[in-house]
Amino acid sequence: MPHFLDDKGNIPTEMPKEARELASFLALVVDATTKKSPFSLTKTEIRCFKKGCQGLIKSEVLKESNEIHWVCSKCPNEGRISDWKLTKWDNR
């Protein structure tokens, strides 16, 4: 996550639009996941960013790596977020 952030921990406005949108999506996932810190996939209210997909994101904190794992409920879109601790979206 830090490679998307500036020195103050913000998502830079100068970043290309696609990268800024992805960084904003990841920030939403970190925010939603760390409010509950589930260790199994839990539904969020975040919509998938894949064009045409109407799925919602499910996320969890992986115990072994402390990464946030997220998956879409309708398409194969999924990923992991590392180095999210101590970002402004960390609600622990």
DSSP run (H or E) holding 61: strand 56-61
Outline where the chain has alpha helix (H): 17-36
In a domain, 29, yes or no: yes
Collapsing DSSP to helix, strand or coil, 26 comes out as helix
H/E stretch holding 46 reads: strand 42-47
pLDDT at 38: 87
Read off the pLDDT of residues 19-72 as tens digits, 9 standing for 90 and up.
Answer: 999 999 999 999 999 998 889 999 999 999 999 999 999 999 999 999 999 999
- Asked, for residue 39, whether it belongs to a domain, the answer is yes
- Measure the CA–CA gap between 71 and 38, rounded to whole angstroms: 14
- Counting the structural domains of the chain, the total is 1
Structural domain includes residue 89: no
Contact 2, 83 (CB under 8 A): yes
Give the structural domain span for 47. 2-81
